[in-house]
Chain A
Amino acid sequence: MRRGRTFAAAAIAAALGATAPPAHAEASQFKGLAAASRELSNRIAPKNAPLELGRFLPGEELGELLGTWSGFGAEHAFRNGAPNSLNMVIWHATLSRFAKELGDSCAAPRLALHARFKATLGKICAWPAAAAKAEPVLQEFWLSLMGYNAPEAEYAAWRDFFLASYARRPAAETVAAMTLAITMNPYFLLHK
């Protein structure tokens, strides 16, 4: 039995030993399905027919795994927002299905879209024609989905990739891929 330190010292030591958590940056979490849906809906869907990304989920109840608010008593906390392999699978599956519907909308409307975005989509759906590759058209499509969340360098990287790698691909495939590339970007999915 060791002696010499008082209880007070031990208690203080224990308290000090309980130092603050390790000093690394707190990581941004996913916005969650509801917030991502709301943002996209505001940007591309008519007010009377909001876009619900939940319909593209690969299974019921999985939306909660993408980040959700949950309450316990008077407390409210955001849960499941930290990125991991499982929610990346679910985001990818969900957004791939949404992106495919948007790409397929080049041929026939598959989603309720507001008039301005319909016009934007009409222009990009001319791909691979040169008109669809014009800077204003690409920028308009990017901003329609991403909003002003991302820095210009993100847009430039996206634009350059599609001009180089999808130059001759059909419109539906390209628009779907463009949509997925925007919506899987950290600036779209994460809280800033």
Chain B
Amino acid sequence: MHKALSRRKVLKFAALGGGTVMMPALGARPAAAAAEPHFVLLVVLNGGADPSYMFDARPLSMTRAGQIQNFLGEEPRPWRGSNGVGALATSLVKPLIPFRDRFSVLNGVVMTPSFDGHQQNMNFLFAGNPFGGESFIPHLNLAGAGTARASLDAISLSGPAPINVDNHSAVVSLQPGAMGTLAAKLKQLRPVTPGDPLHDFLRARIAANAAGPGRLAAGAGEMLAGVDGARDVHRKLAMLTAPSLDRSDELQALALITECFRLSIARSAIYVLPEYFDVHAGELAKTQPKLFASAIAKIAALFDGLDETPFDQRRSMLDVTTVMVASEFGRTMRTSAMPIYETGTNHNSLSNSILLGGKGIRGGMVLGASDLASETARPSGAHLAMDGALEKTMGLPFDFATLRPIAELPDEFEIEDHLTIGSVINTVYALFGVPKSHYRALGRNLPVAPVMNGLLR
């Protein structure tokens, strides 16, 4: 966007509690992160958020027909993508309308078709494996992945993400409230100094114990990487301006994210929203309009904050940050044996919705779609094979060349035919220049999940 810095932005940014952007001119801060700064904000909707309350809604006629719960009780409206693909959206997404050109909606995203547990699908979102493994977040901070490495792979603003991965040692939980004191203390403390005999001895013992097999050696190896990066982190954290604690949680989080990105402390930020979307019981399902209203307000506040906060004198934070909003899976349309106005919903890994926006992403589009879009829609043989009770929606087959859903009713489920979380992550990988060796495959002996090149700017 390369917008000039408006007075409004400066004032709003100052109110956010940030401060580093002004500092280069004063000669007290280092240059901004890298020649081509690029960061990621991953917003997690924890518990499995129902896409039908956002951008993959269903007409009320389906509720009247007993097919899908709708505790909002309103007719959804068309949400037309700039690529000609449409969806139905609820009025709850209204706060996101000002940013509709800055993000695209991905509907009908298949997670893991074989597991429907929270942790399995959260693992699948992060690692491409329901049992865990290597999370994609650190891969975005690899050497040679497009920009200079940040000191930490990510900061997590809401405690550790609820996943089981083995490469998150440099994904660090930070609480805005604790950072001011830390920065002040670190200013007073001498950082670890290579060349100092004691430091060199400490490092040598850690290195000696990192050599060889075993858990302790592996832990010492992580200590060694940590101690080698400690001086840099100490220096940067000492420069950090703590967010003002009288702001909302989102604005405090955003101020801390901004500082960490600008000082190149972290490549990514993970923000798990406090709303919990796991609504199996009818009474919980009825809270969804409030849950989504609250969560969407926070997402909108984050978009707004990113857009209004300068990264430097030419760019906003949104200009340098790719934003992804995702849940571990979607939800079923209803549960069996409950009246439609009393039903809760279960997990649905066959159709999820993801928002992808910010730097490098073509905004305004709708990609993909889920099936059973009306009370007269027929399920495919593939759908019946995966969900004989017809309680779930399922991602429609997807044409990766045109980025459009395919209106066919296949007899068999072929993962290659669908838009999957693997494609979403590989598209982010492509954006960051991550080596192809890390790209996710669609399964064993199956091809790499296609990159959605048309989604990239």
Listed in ascending order, the chain A residues whose CB lies under 8 Å from chain B are 1-3, 5-7, 10-11, 13-22, 24-29, 58-62, 64-65, 70, 72, 79-80, 82-90, 92-93, 96, 154, 157-158, 161, 165, 177, 180-181, 184-187, 189-192
Contact = CB atoms under 8 A, between A and B. Distances in A.
A51 B415 CA distance: 58
Contacts of A7: 382, 385-386, 412-413
A22 B138 CA distance: 15
Nearest to B185: A58
B151 A85 contact: yes
Interface string B147-159: 0000110000001
Contacts of B160: 79-80
Given A26-B218, A59-B178, A186-B206, 8 more contacts: A16-B443, A25-B217, A59-B179, A62-B181, A84-B169, A84-B171, A165-B197, A184-B202
Contacts of A185: 202, 205-206, 209
Nearest to B218: A27
Nearest to B171: A84
A15 B114 contact: yes
Nearest to B129: A18
B232 interface: yes
B24 interface: no
A3 B411 CA distance: 9
Contacts of B192: 88-89, 92
A17 to B, nearest CB: 3
Closest 3 CB pairs of A and B: A17-B443, A28-B219, A85-B229
Interface in B164-188: 166, 168-175, 177-182, 184-186
A21 B175 contact: no
Interface in B185-220: 185-186, 189, 191-192, 197-198, 201-202, 204-206, 208-210, 213-220
Contact of B414 (A10, A70, A80, A96): A10
Interface in B310-327: none
A2 B414 contact: yes
Given A58-B185, A59-B181, A165-B201, A88 B223 contact: yes
Nearest to A70: B159
A16 B177 CA distance: 44
A58 B170 contact: no
Interface of B: 112-115, 124, 127, 129-134, 151-152, 159-160, 162, 166, 168-175, 177-182, 184-186, 189, 191-192, 197-198, 201-202, 204-206, 208-210, 213-223, 225-230, 232-234, 237, 382, 385-386, 397, 406, 408, 410-417, 441-446
A39 to B, nearest CB: 16
A72 B227 CA distance: 31
Contact of B130 (A18, A26, A72, A84): A18
B209 to A, nearest CB: 5
A28 B169 CA distance: 11
Contacts of A1: 397, 406, 408, 410, 414, 417
Given A84-B152, A157-B205, A180-B202, A27 B415 contact: no
B416 to A, nearest CB: 6
A33 to B, nearest CB: 14
A89 B228 CA distance: 10
B414 A3 contact: yes
A1 B133 CA distance: 31
Contacts of A21: 127, 129, 131-134, 166
B257 to A, nearest CB: 15
A84 B415 CA distance: 37
A87 B112 contact: no
A95 to B, nearest CB: 10
Contacts of B208: 157
B446 A186 contact: no
A27 B165 CA distance: 12
A58 to B, nearest CB: 4
Contacts of B170: 84-85
A165 B442 CA distance: 57
- Interface core residue of A17, A90, A161 (most chain B CB under 10 Å): A17
Contact of B444 (A13, A72, A184): A13
B185 A93 contact: yes
Given A62-B178, A83-B222, A177-B198, A18 B414 contact: no
A161 B226 contact: no
Contacts of B178: 59-62
B226 A88 contact: yes
B128 to A, nearest CB: 8
A22 B177 CA distance: 36
A25 B441 CA distance: 24
A2 B417 CA distance: 8
A186 B181 contact: no
A92 B223 CA distance: 12
A60 B417 CA distance: 52
Contact of A61 (B177, B191, B416): B177
B414 A181 contact: no
B112 A83 contact: no
Contacts of B184: 59
A121 B124 CA distance: 53
10 contacts: A7-B413, A25-B213, A59-B185, A62-B178, A80-B172, A82-B168, A82-B222, A181-B198, A186-B220, A190-B223
